Amino acid sequence: MTDYLRNFLLTVLVGIGMVLPLSVQAALTIEITEGIESAVPIAVVPFSWQRLTPGVPVHIAEIVKSDLSRSGYFKTLPERDMLTRPDSPAKVKFRNWRALGQDYLVIGQVTEQRGRFNIEFQLFDVYKGEQLLGYRMSVTDHELRRTAHHISDLIFEKLTGKKGYFNSRIAYITSVIKPAGKKQYKLQVADADGFNPQTIATSSEPLMSPAWSPDGRKIAYVSFERKSSAIFVQTLATGKRQRISAYPGINGAPSWSPDGKRLAMTLSKDGSPDIYVLNLATRALLKLTKSFAIDTEPTWSPDGRNIVFTSDRGGKPQLYMMPSYGGRPRRITFTGDYNARGMFSPDGKWLAMVHANGGDYRIAVMDMKTRDINVLADGRLDESPSFSPNGSMILYASRKGTQGFLSIVSVDGGMRQKLVFNQGEVREPAWGR
């Protein structure tokens, strides 16, 4: 079931779209199915620990190694193959790492002091024998895992020239069958590697369409908890939420403006589903489209000037663009018999979409300058594309045969990951900051 049909037919029917397995402990297990052919060898040595109590609360080096490995850009050295395990620059013998064919080396140490953890790490160019990065940071025990992802981002950007995306979060909708046979739906948020899943909202009725605010502090979503659709905005830090749209009929597909002050959405309060923009401060509502067709799935351009949406006004679902303050919509997709669920990259150069030609629904990107479309995925039921914060990766839901899963693909199609879940059901992933 595609996003376009789910947001309308299943919204009206209070149904649920594609479902995928979910795990309980770590929200997902990531399997690299295709990486960069020229992956760079890098060794991440286990960080040494000095603390008052025994044990290591978070294995920082393992997280960094996992982040770099699953990026597809790096090939990390197994710990068992390391000849030495230095934790300071003075202990590094570059000849050892050259002998192992490593281009880069990461070392570090953690010291506990007065309830805080002082983390120090260095990145070296093995063949030049030079230090490329060196950072010190002081964090609490609750910040250790996110700090490890931050270290990964720093290393990734230094070596690739691209911003990292490891210290980011994903949101998704899960459902499980309770003993009485009823489903329980949850809106959950986890780290980008699937750890630290947290439940944001729970309902015995469907939850849909999570959308991150630009600052990553809030999530807008659709809930049927009162037996009809309504759009809520929830603050993650406090759990406080507001019902901001509960008109008769469809309230769906919320999308934040780049400044976080407005929400685009789909409402059918006047009859057919149309695109509206709600000012969150004044609650003023601007109707953008006036059509007997189904208009849905609005998404803002990064500069806030335009909105792209899905419409069947031409007979089949295609993408249209119009000024965010109102104006005449113009069709922007002409390749394929189905294009829906547009999503801009952060820099505005690409528009991800669900593209179909002959029945297979696949993730594709449009070059906004040339309007050329490049199909990235090879599935038959792909949906819900969402860009990583750095714009280099796309997260989406997929299915092959009876197996459902999430996938990540690079914008150039050169790197692919499969995110495997073990229990329950999950759908509609959204990648946030």
Q: What is the mean pLDDT of residues 329-340?
A: 96
Residue 137: predicted pLDDT: 96
Task: Give the confidence band of 37 by pLDDT, cuts at 50, 70, 90.
Answer: low
CB atoms within 10 A of CB 325: 12
Q: Is the pLDDT of residue 16 over 90?
A: no
- Per-residue DSSP letters for 68-116? HHHTSSEEEPPGGG-S----SGGG--HHHHHHTT-SEEEEEEEEEETTE
Q: Return residue ranges of the chain for CATH 2.120.10.30.
A: 3-26+168-432
CATH superfamily, domain 38-160, is TolB, N-terminal domain (3.40.50.10070)
Task: Give the confidence band of 230 by pLDDT, cuts at 50, 70, 90.
Answer: very high
Q: Is the pLDDT of residue 236 over 80?
A: yes
Q: Is the pLDDT of residue 9 over 60?
A: no
Residue 67: predicted pLDDT: 94
CATH superfamily, domain 3-26+168-432, is TolB, C-terminal domain (2.120.10.30)
- Asked if residues 120 and 59 have their Cβ atoms less than 8 Å apart, the reply is no
pLDDT in tens, 251-308: 999 999 999 999 999 999 999 999 999 999 999 999 999 989 999 999 999 999 999 9
Residue listed under structure tokens 């007979």: 315
Q: Return residue ranges of the chain for CATH 3.40.50.10070.
A: 38-160
Residue 145: predicted pLDDT: 95
Report the candidate in 103, 102, 62 with the shortest Cα–Cα distance to residue 82. 102
Q: Which residues contact 238 (CB under 8 A, 6 or more apart)?
A: none
Task: Give the confidence band of 140 by pLDDT, cuts at 50, 70, 90.
Answer: very high
More confident residue, 40 or 20: 40
pLDDT in tens, 313-327: 999 999 999 999 999
pLDDT in tens, 175-188: 888 888 788 999 99
Q: What is the mean pLDDT of residues 337-362?
A: 94
State the Cα–Cα distance between residues 210 and 171, nearest whole angstrom: 7
Residue 14: predicted pLDDT: 37
More confident residue, 165 or 9: 165
What is the spatial order of strands in the sheet that 169-177 belongs to? 20-22, 423-432, 169-177, 183-191, 198-203
For the chain, give the mean pLDDT: 89
